[in-house]
Chains A and B, each alone.
Chain A
Amino acid sequence: MEVVLQNLTKKFPGRGRKNHEEVIAVNDFTFKIPDGKLIGLLGPSGCGKSTTLNLISGLQKPTSGKIFFGTDDVTHLQPEHRGIGLVFQNYALYPHLTVKQNILFPLENLKGKDKLSKQEMLEKAYEAAKLVQIEELMERKPGELSGGQQQRVAIARALVKMPRVLLLDEPLSNLDARLRLQTREEIRRIQRETKITTIFVTHDQEEAMSISDMIVVMNAGVVQQIGRPQEVYDNPANLFVAKFLGTPPINVFEGRISGRKLYIGEEAVLDVSGGSENSGISGNSGDREVYVGIRPEGFRLRDDGPLGCEFGSVEVMGRDISVISTNKASLNAKVRSIISTDHMGKIEKVCSADGFSQTSYVRFALIPHKVFLFDRKTEKRIAFQADGTKGEEC
Chain B
Amino acid sequence: MENRNDYGVIEKKAEVRKKAANVITYALLILWAVIVLFPFYWMVLTSVKSYGAYNSEYIPKFYTLSPTFQNYVDAFTTVSLGRYLMNTAIFTVVTTAIMLVVITLAAFAFARLDFRGKNIVFVLFLSLMMIPNELVIITNFVTITDLNMRNTFQGLILPSVTSIFYIYLLKENFEQIPNSLYYAAKVDGTSDLKYLWKVMIPISKPTLITITILKVIECWNSYVWPRLITDDERYYLVSNGIQEIRENGFGRENIPAMMAAVVVISIPLIILFLIFRRKVMAGVARGGTKG
Contacts and interface: CB of A to CB of B under 8 A. Distances in A.
Do A and B have CB atoms closer than 8 angstroms in the complex?
yes
Contacts, number: 12
Interface string A74-116: 0011100100000000000000000000000000000000000
B14 A73 contact: no
Contacts of B4: 72-73
A76 B7 CA distance: 9
Contacts of B14: 78
B11 interface: yes
B128 interface: no
A77 B11 CA distance: 7
Nearest to B10: A81
Contacts of A78: 10-11, 14
A78 B3 CA distance: 14
A307 to B, nearest CB: 49
A77 B7 CA distance: 7
B3 to A, nearest CB: 8
Contacts of B3: 72
B63 to A, nearest CB: 37
Contacts of B10: 78, 81
From B4, B10, B14, name the one whose CB has the most chain A CB atoms within 10 angstroms.
B4
Interface in A236-288: none
Interface in A41-86: 72-73, 76-78, 81
Nearest to B15: A78
Interface residues of B, number: 6
A62 B95 CA distance: 58
Residue of A73, A76, A81 contacting most chain B CB atoms (<10 Å): A81
Contacts of B11: 76-78, 81
A73 B4 CA distance: 8
A76 B4 CA distance: 10
Contacts of B7: 77, 81
Interface string B1-33: 001100100110010000000000000000000
A119 to B, nearest CB: 27
Nearest to B3: A72
Contacts of A72: 3-4
Nearest to A81: B7
A78 B4 CA distance: 12
A15 B186 CA distance: 46
A318 to B, nearest CB: 40
Nearest to A76: B11
Nearest to B4: A72
Interface string B40-75: 000000000000000000000000000000000000
Interface in B80-113: none
A73 B3 CA distance: 11
Nearest to B7: A81
Contacts of A77: 7, 11
A76 B11 CA distance: 8
A194 B3 CA distance: 25
Interface string B155-190: 000000000000000000000000000000000000
Contacts of A73: 4
B237 to A, nearest CB: 43
Interface in A332-378: none
Contacts of A76: 11
Q: Which of B3, B7, B11, B14 has the most CB of A within 10 A?
A: B7
Nearest to A77: B7
B76 to A, nearest CB: 43
A332 B134 CA distance: 73
Given A77-B7, A78-B10, A81-B10, 9 more contacts: A72-B3, A72-B4, A73-B4, A76-B11, A77-B11, A78-B11, A78-B14, A81-B7, A81-B11
Top 3 A-B pairs, shortest CB-CB distance: A81-B7, A77-B7, A78-B11
Interface of B: 3-4, 7, 10-11, 14
12 contacts: A72-B3, A72-B4, A73-B4, A76-B11, A77-B7, A77-B11, A78-B10, A78-B11, A78-B14, A81-B7, A81-B10, A81-B11
